[in-house]
C-alpha cells in the first residue's frame, strides 16, 4: 500500500506496556519523531527508567508517564478524560506469556492472561475510542497480536486463545471504524527478544517450555517490530506479519492451504521435531549462520 506522510510531531500517542519490550521500542521510536507519547505501564519503576532515558533527548518535554493497570477500566478511563481527547494513536502492547497444559492451568492464571492480553486491549480501546471518534479527525489503533494468533501450538492454548481473539477483535473493528477514518491494525510478530520469557507464566519444565525460552532469547530485537508498526501506521495497513521466522510461516501456509490436515501435520512437527530437540539444533545452526553471514531470521514472506 502507498505510504502516507504522517506529521508525527503533531500527533499524540498512547502506548500500553511501554516499560519494556515492543512497547518500549515503539514509544522511543515515536518520541524520536517528535510525537507526544504517553507511556503506560503497570510497574512504576519501568516508567521512571523510561522517563530518565528519554529525558536525555531533544524531545523530552513530549513524554509523559502513567502507572496504569490495563485490567482496571476505571484507571484507563480516568487517563483518557485527563487527556481531553487529544489522542491520535493508540498502541496496545501490554501482554503476558503463558505456557502450560490447559488441564493443569489454574483459574487464577486463566483470568490473569485473558485480563491482560484480551480485556486489557478492550479496556484501552473503550477508554480512548469515544473521544477519538468525537474529534472526527481519524486515528490509529494498533494491537499487538502474535504468530500465536495464527497457528496453534501444544501447551500454549491459553496464550493462543488470547491472541486469536485480538485478531478477531482487530478485524471487526477495522471494518466498523473505517467510515470514521480510524485505522485498526493487528501486528503479528514472530519471536522477539523481550522479557516475556522471564516474566511470563511458564508453568512447566517440559521440552516445549525450554524451547520457548530459547526461541524468545534468540528472537529479533524489538526495535525492528517498532519500525514495522511505524510502517503500518504510514501505510494504513490492517494486518502485518513482522519478522516471523521461516518455519512458523511454513506452518501458517500449510494451515491455510490444508486446514483439515494441519492438526496432524503440526502434531508431527511439534512432537517429532520440538520434543526431540531438533528445533533447538535448528536454532543453534541459525545462530551460527547468523554470525557467519550476518542474518538471524528467515526471509519474511509478508514483505
Q: Which three cell numbers stand for residue 200?
A: 511470563
Q: Which three cell numbers stand for residue 217?
A: 532469547
Return d(Cα 82, Cα 90) in angstroms, integer: 15
Q: 19: closest CA among 52, 41, 51?
A: 41
> What is the 8-class DSSP label of residue 38?
E
Return d(Cα 76, Cα 123) in angstroms, integer: 7
The count of other CB atoms within 10 Å of the CB of residue 33 is 16
Cβ burial of 179 (10 Å; 0-12, 13-18, 19+) is: exposed
Where in the sequence numbering do the catalytic residues fall?
159
Amino acid at each position: 500500500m502507498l505510504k502516507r506522510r504522517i506529521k508525527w510531531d503533531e500527533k499524540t500517542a498512547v502506548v500500553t506496556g511501554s516499560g519494556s519490550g515492543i512497547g518500549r521500542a515503539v514509544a522511543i521510536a515515536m518520541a524520536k519523531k517528535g510525537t507526544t507519547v504517553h507511556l503506560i505501564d503497570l510497574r512504576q519503576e519501568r516508567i521512571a527508567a523510561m522517563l530518565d532515558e528519554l529525558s536525555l533527548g531533544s524531545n523530552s518535554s513530549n513524554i509523559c508517564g502513567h502507572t496504569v493497570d490495563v485490567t482496571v477500566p476505571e484507571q484507563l478511563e480516568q487517563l483518557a478524560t485527563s487527556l481531553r481527547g487529544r489522542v491520535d494513536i493508540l498502541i496496545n502492547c501490554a501482554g503476558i506469556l503463558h505456557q502450560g497444559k490447559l488441564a493443569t492451568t489454574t483459574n487464577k492464571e486463566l483470568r490473569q492472561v485473558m485480563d491482560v492480553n484480551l480485556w486489557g486491549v478492550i479496556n484501552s480501546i473503550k477508554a480512548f475510542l469515544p473521544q477519538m471518534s468525537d474529534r472526527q479527525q481519524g486515528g490509529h489503533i494498533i494491537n499487538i497480536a502474535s504468530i500465536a494468533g495464527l497457528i496453534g501450538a501444544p501447551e500454549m492454548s491459553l496464550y493462543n486463545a488470547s491472541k486469536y481473539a485480538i485478531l478477531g477483535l482487530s478485524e471487526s473493528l477495522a471494518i466498523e471504524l473505517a467510515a470514521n477514518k480510524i485505522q485498526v491494525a493487528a501486528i503479528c510478530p514472530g519471536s522477539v527478544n523481550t522479557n516475556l520469557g522471564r516474566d511470563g507464566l511458564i508453568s512447566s519444565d517440559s521440552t516445549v517450555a525450554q524451547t520457548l525460552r530459547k526461541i524468545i532469547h534468540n528472537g529479533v530485537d524489538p526495535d525492528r517490530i517498532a519500525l514495522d508498526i511505524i510502517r503500518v501506521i504510514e501505510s494504513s495497513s490492517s494486518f502485518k506479519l513482522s519478522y516471523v521466522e521461516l518455519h512458523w510461516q511454513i506452518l501458517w501456509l500449510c494451515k491455510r492451504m490444508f486446514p483439515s490436515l494441519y492438526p496432524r501435520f503440526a502434531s508431527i512437527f511439534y512432537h517429532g521435531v520440538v520434543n526431540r530437540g531438533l528445533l533447538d539444533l535448528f536454532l543453534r545452526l541459525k545462530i551460527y549462520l547468523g554470525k557467519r553471514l550476518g542474518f538471524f531470521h528467515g526471509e519474511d514472506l509478508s514483505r
